[in-house]
Chain A
Amino acid sequence: MTVTICDTTAEAVAGIRDGSTVLIGGFGMAGMPVQLIDALIDQGASDLTVVSNNAGNGDTGLAALLAKGRVRKMICSFPRQTDSWVFDGLYRAGKIELEVVPQGNLAERMRAAGAGIGAFYGRTGVGTPLAEGKETREIDGRTHVLEFPIKGDVALIGAFRADRMGNLVYRKTARNFGPVMATAAAVTIAQVSEVVETGTLDPEVIVTPSIYVDRVVAV
């Protein structure tokens, strides 16, 4: 599928269904696709499962989506922060489910989804509450735990520039989860600062090739 360069964020998030699993990029606010999330709030999809490293910061971006009550479940590595009051309130009121996943497993489970890996054994979390009930296996004399992919219906990511084919480059640590989430969702939607003509991005520096990208919108 070729990429669609959207004129508006509303067009970019059109068709996201209730009950979807939405991968949302960003680490804190760096790389957080705030304008796409605002558009998702307006679009109205609810009963969402959101996969993101954190569970919202302050009152904007993911926190705003949570505050609207659209999210049934958060899958993340680090919900508790000094500015995660929106999530904290929902969690303490029993209004949101939480699955805490070690950060490396979160990334690798999405990588597996994007790479067609059925499951993988890793050592992270062995002997801890986060591996309870999971299948384990001795490999090379060490206990490993079986982890399954996390696949998204949609990924919302923030990148720096796209070309008109949908190739993406990022800026500094705002890259974070964007490239791996782009591979792991059925539909990947990227907000960028700028869409440039095809051929103007150096092929050597493209981080997310266009094959992973479905819709792009400049914000």
Chain B
Amino acid sequence: MSLDKHEMAALVARDIAPGSYVNLGIGQPTLVADHLPAGAGIVLHTENGMLNMGPAAVGDQIDPDLTNAGKIPVTELPGSAYFHHADSFAMMRGGHLDVCVMGAFQVSANGDLANWHTGDPDAIPAVGGAMDLAVGAKSVYVMMTLFTKRGEPKLVPECTYPLTGLKCVDRVYTDQATFLITDAGVIVRDTFGITFEELSDRLDVPLLRP
């Protein structure tokens, strides 16, 4: 069976080493936080200026001055720290962040990422911190469905959408398989309800067995 978004999030969470400093992108990657092991000392960074971000705020915890990058009210944890935007992005751009998890429209076989703009003439482009994370985090993990709703692969030989970053993606977690992007090529680490042969057939990207 293919994975649902919660199972994908759990898979990503299992691969994050204890003690990592991690940025989770807006949308599905946020779900990873629900699956991080307690007591592993994993510190969440939110680019609007906080380390050791706590869970979403509920009820009277809600404070308009304390939100995450998706503008959702969140909470503090013991050891939280605040800082301004230039410092927050220096953390990324300076290579201090261990892992970031982002969604994507497309990832290419060599790790190019496209996740900020569809390129449609009517679309309003919005990049946020995606380009900074793509070049700055030590490991860039993408979490996405493997195919669009129309059945087109999102792991592609070359991205057709406008790029976010070049050769920056290390792993792609999808509902059908987990891919490691390496210098040797794209390695299929796990499959979910699909065989390696079926994947090779449906993707226009050369695949390697683990």
Contact = CB atoms under 8 A, between A and B. Distances in A.
A107 B127 contact: no
A74 to B, nearest CB: 11
Interface stretch (B157-165, B170-178, B180-188, B194-202): B157-165
Interface residues of B, number: 44
Contacts of A125: 131
Interface stretch (A7-15, A36-44, A59-67, A96-104): A96-104
B131 A124 contact: yes
A174 B63 CA distance: 10
A173 B127 contact: no
Contacts of A103: 47, 85, 89, 127-129, 132
Nearest to B112: A127
B86 A108 contact: yes
A154 to B, nearest CB: 18
Chain B binding surface, main DSSP class: loop
A215 interface: no
A128 B125 contact: no
Given A78-B127, A100-B125, A174 B89 contact: no
Interface in A94-118: 98, 100-108, 110-111
B60 interface: no
Contacts of A124: 93, 131-132, 134-136
Interface string A163-181: 0000000111111111110
Size bracket, chain A contacts = 35 or more
Contact of A180 (B82, B84, B163, B166): B84
Contacts of A180: 84-86
Contacts of B84: 107, 175-180, 207
B63 to A, nearest CB: 7
Contacts, number: 146
Max count, chain B CB within 10 A of own CB: residue among A92, A98, A104: A104
Max count, chain A CB within 10 A of own CB: residue among B76, B125, B132: B132
Given A92-B122, A173-B65, A77 B127 contact: yes
A125 B135 CA distance: 8
Interface of B: 46-50, 63-68, 71, 76, 82-86, 88-90, 92-93, 112, 117, 122-132, 134-136, 162-166
Given A78-B126, A176-B84, 11 more contacts: A79-B125, A80-B123, A88-B124, A92-B122, A92-B124, A101-B127, A102-B132, A104-B92, A106-B85, A108-B89, A124-B134
Q: List the 9 shortest-distance A-B pairs measured between CB atoms, nearest first.
A: A104-B89, A104-B132, A28-B71, A127-B166, A174-B65, A80-B126, A179-B84, A102-B131, A107-B85
Interface of A: 27-31, 53, 57, 77-81, 87-88, 91-92, 98, 100-108, 110-111, 122-130, 170-180, 207
